[in-house]
Amino acid sequence: MAKEKCPVCGSQKFYVKDPEDEYEIYEFELNEGMVVFAERYEDCPPLSGDGHIYCNRCIWHGKMNELK
């Protein structure tokens, strides 16, 4: 299975924002369809195909199911 990557820069590292604190982020990498968080987060928001994510390398942001 191909790795999902950012449609703009090709990065495989992303983050999601905490819905209650816009300055709190949770970094993760998509590895063959699996979400692998950079750290062990205790209160990470759930990720889904229509969840909003941000590229950790460029300005792209969108939904997880938009990744190729």
Residue 56 lies in a domain: no
Instruction: Name the DSSP letter for residue 44.
Output: P
Whether the pLDDT of residue 2 is over 90: the answer is no
Q: CA 42 to CA 37: how far, in whole Å?
A: 11
pLDDT tens for each residue of 11-63? 999 999 888 888 889 999 988 778 888 777 777 777 777 778 999 999 999 99
Per-residue confidence band for 1, with pLDDT thresholds at 50, 70 and 90: very low
- Cβ atoms of residues 3 and 12 within 8 Å: yes
| Total domains in the fold of the chain | 1
Residue 13 lies in a domain: yes
Residue 48 lies in a domain: no
Residue 4 lies in a domain: yes
pLDDT at 39: 77
pLDDT at 10: 92
Residue 10 lies in a domain: yes
Question: What are the two backbone dihedrals, phi and then psi, of residue 48, each rounded to the nearest 5 degrees?
Answer: -140, 175
Residue 62 lies in a domain: no
Residue 9 lies in a domain: yes
- Cβ atoms of residues 41 and 26 within 8 Å: yes
Domain that holds residue 5: 1-41
Task: Provide the pairing of β-strand 34-37 with 52-55.
Answer: unpaired
